[in-house]
Amino acid sequence: MKNILLFLLIVSMAILGCTKDKAVQPSTGRSLPYENKNLKMELVSAAVPAANDMHFFNENTGIVSTYDGKIYKSIDGGKNWILKFSDTTPDRPLNAILFPNENVGYAAGGAGWCSVAGCLPSGAVLLKTSDAGENWSIVFQITGRSEFSSIASNGKGDLFLIENDYAQSFDFVSKILKSEDGGINWSVMASFDVALKKIIFNKNNGFCIGTYGKIIRSIDDGNTWNESPAFEAGWISDIAFNNSTGYCITNSQTVYKSTDNGENWDPGYTSSTDYFYKLSPLFDNYCLIWGAVPNTGGCFGSNAGSVIHSNNAGSTWESTQFKDITSVWESSFYATHEGYVLAREIGGNKLIKVTVN
């Protein structure tokens, strides 16, 4: 209890000490629509629900999950969004979306802690749809101090969840869960004393990332998991592969690269002008990193959005900064040359269509 009260006191003091200055925008920032020799970016909508994750099946049809436990669907390229699910349990965000195919999909989320002393967290939840997101139902949930942060499937169709359990002292125990029956029954495959953020599969190789610069890896379709040598970093925020070439982001400003399915990693690029949030390795040697310019406008300012581009497998990177969008956190590419990204804005997120030239 004392730890929780101390944590809340520190947060309150930090908020009271902040100044609500206006964020300084980059003087050389670009505006949308924008096009160069590499890509084109066009604003689609400035009123997208406050999404935690999104998935687009094609140019017209997409799904977003939100902080307040809702799922929306668009059938007109993201211009309009229709509510398809609303959680009756309050304060239970939906953190991640997975569609193994066009009809069957999952949304994972929950909250393992809450900000008021003595409160009961909403717990972890997994939703499933069998009709391309038209209808959703709860198939698995855990009460108490647990949440699901990410979901993935391997090449055999097995499902995997990351469950983060929060102790009273804000310590973490993370579990990797596996289901072989479409999400009804789950088994614990491994547990670790770190907070895990994301799980992915690249062929039969599985990867989990999180705090303390650790990558948890499987080379047998997720049956066994082991810690790889840790990076010199506080956290790893994203990981993605294109065939055997992979990238991961550490401490929001360094990109590591692997050319052997994650067996070894080398630091490829560190930026002093951009924060990195989301990786999009699309084809051959082409990779995009979505992010933002550091905020110089006080505690409640915003971060101007940016995209960092490489067409030579990460040997060199080029940054383009924008002055009319904020931090770009999510991306969904339904084809190697086309997709959408989401800039998180106060009062309505912005959806941007991206075309690679």
Give me the tens of pLDDT residue by residue for the chain, a chain 357 residues long: 333 333 333 334 333 344 444 444 455 689 999 999 999 999 999 999 989 999 999 999 999 999 999 999 999 999 999 999 999 999 899 999 999 999 999 999 999 887 777 778 899 999 999 999 999 999 999 998 899 999 999 999 999 999 999 865 556 789 999 999 999 999 999 999 888 999 999 999 999 999 899 999 999 999 999 998 888 899 999 999 999 999 999 999 999 999 999 999 998 899 989 999 999 999 989 999 999 997 655 555 567 999 999 999 999 999 999 989 999 999 999 999 999 999 988 767 999 999 998
pLDDT tens digit sequence for 197-246: 999 999 999 999 998 999 999 999 999 999 988 888 999 999 999 999 99
Both ends of the chain: CA-CA distance in Å? Answer: 55
d(CA 44, CA 355): 13
Paired tokens of 27: 């003087």
Residues 350, 50: contact at Cβ < 8 Å?
no
pLDDT tens digit sequence for 321-344: 998 999 999 999 999 999 999 998
CB atoms inside a 10 Å sphere around CB 9: 10
Paired tokens of 161: 């969840």
Residue 301: per-residue pLDDT: 56
3-class secondary structure per residue, the chain: CHHHHHHHHHHHHHHHHCCCCCCCCCCCCECCCEECCCEEEEEEEEEECCEEEEEECCCCCEEEEECCCEEEEECCCCCCCEEEEECCCCCCCEEEEECCCCCCEEEEEEECCCCCCCCCCCEEEEEEECCCCCCCEEEEEECCCEEEEEEEECCCCCEEEEEEEECCCCCEEEEEEEECCCCCCCEEEEEECCCEEEEEEECCEEEEEEECCCEEEECCCCCCCEECCCCCCCEEEEEEEECCEEEEEECCCEEEEECCCCCCCEEEEECCCCEEEEEEEEECCEEEEEEECCCCCCCCCCCEEEEEEECCCCCCCEEEEEEEEECEEEEEEEECCEEEEEECCCCCEEEEEEEEC
d(CA 53, CA 65): 6
CA atoms within 13 A on the CB side of 178: 17
Residue 284: per-residue pLDDT: 87
